[in-house]
Amino acid sequence: MEKAQFVIHRYESDISSLRKSKKYKNLIKLAKNISADSTSTPHTGGDDFDPTDDTDFVFADVARKKLIIYEYWGNYDINNTGIAEPIVCTWVDDIIIQLESNPYPSQDIPFIVLANNSIPFKLYGEANAELIGDNQKISTAIKRGILDNMAGSNNAQKGIRNGALSALNKKRFLNGKNFEFNGSAADFYEGNYNAIPNSVFNVMNMVNSETDSMTGTKGFSSGIDGGALGSTAKAAGGVLDAVSVRRLDIVRNIAENLVKPLMRKWMSYNSEFLRPEEVIRVTNDEFVPIKRDDLKGMVDINIHVSTAEDNDAKAKELAFMLQTGQQTMDAGSLKLIQIELFRLKKMPELAKALEEYEPTPDPYVEEMKILEKEKLKAEIRERNSRASENAVDIRAKNAQAALNEARARELDSSTDLKDQEFTRKADGTEFSEKMAEKDFDRNTAVGMEQIKSQKLTN
Query: Phi and psi (nearest 5°) for 421?
Result: -65, -40
Indicate if 213 and 160 belong to the same structural domain. Answer: yes
Separation of alpha carbons 382 and 245, rounded Å: 68
Question: Which candidate, 358, 322, 361, 359, places its Cα nearest to that of 341?
Answer: 322
Indicate if 64 and 161 belong to the same structural domain. Answer: no
In this structure, is residue 213 part of a structural domain? yes
Indicate if 98 and 145 belong to the same structural domain. Answer: no
In this structure, is residue 309 part of a structural domain? no
Indicate if 94 and 133 belong to the same structural domain. Answer: no
Residue 190: exposed, middle, or buried by beta-carbon count in 10 A (0-12, 13-18, 19+)? Answer: exposed
CB 114, CB 106: distance < 8 Å? no
Predicted pLDDT at 69: 93
Domain boundary among 54, 80, 111: 111
pLDDT in 10s for each residue of the chain, 458 residues: 888 889 999 999 999 999 999 889 999 988 888 877 655 444 444 455 566 666 677 788 888 888 899 999 999 988 888 899 999 999 998 899 999 999 888 888 899 888 888 888 888 888 878 888 899 999 999 999 999 988 888 888 888 888 888 888 888 888 888 988 888 888 888 888 888 889 999 999 889 888 887 776 766 545 444 444 444 444 444 445 556 677 777 888 888 888 888 888 887 777 777 767 666 665 566 666 766 666 655 556 777 777 776 788 888 888 888 888 888 888 888 888 888 888 888 888 888 888 888 878 788 888 888 889 999 999 998 888 888 888 888 888 888 888 888 888 888 888 888 877 778 777 777 777 778 777 777 777 777 777 777 777 76
Indicate if 106 and 32 belong to the same structural domain. Answer: yes
Indicate if 215 and 145 belong to the same structural domain. Answer: yes
Our count of domains for the chain comes to: 3
Positive or negative: CA dihedral 229, 231, 232, 238? positive
Segments forming the whole domain that contains residue 418: 364-427
Indicate if 40 and 104 belong to the same structural domain. Answer: yes
Indicate if 94 and 136 belong to the same structural domain. Answer: no
Predicted pLDDT at 269: 79
Predicted pLDDT at 242: 56
In this structure, is residue 26 part of a structural domain? yes
Indicate if 25 and 85 belong to the same structural domain. Answer: yes
Indicate if 163 and 94 belong to the same structural domain. Answer: no
Residue 243: exposed, middle, or buried by beta-carbon count in 10 A (0-12, 13-18, 19+)? Answer: buried
3-state secondary structure of 51: coil
In this structure, is residue 46 part of a structural domain? yes
In this structure, is residue 150 part of a structural domain? yes
pTM above 0.75, yes or no: no
In this structure, is residue 391 part of a structural domain? yes
Q: Quick one: how far is CA 288 from the chain centroid?
A: 24
Question: Which candidate, 147, 148, 162, 158, places its Cα nearest to that of 191?
Answer: 158
Predicted pLDDT at 91: 94
What length does the chain have?
Answer: 458
CB 73, CB 101: distance < 8 Å? no
Indicate if 75 and 101 belong to the same structural domain. Answer: yes
Indicate if 81 and 177 belong to the same structural domain. Answer: no
CB 139, CB 151: distance < 8 Å? no
In this structure, is residue 275 part of a structural domain? no
Query: Phi and psi (nearest 5°) for 257?
Result: -105, -5
In this structure, is residue 196 part of a structural domain? yes
CB 191, CB 158: distance < 8 Å? yes
Output helix, strand, coil percentages for the chain, rounded to the nearest 5: 55, 15, 30
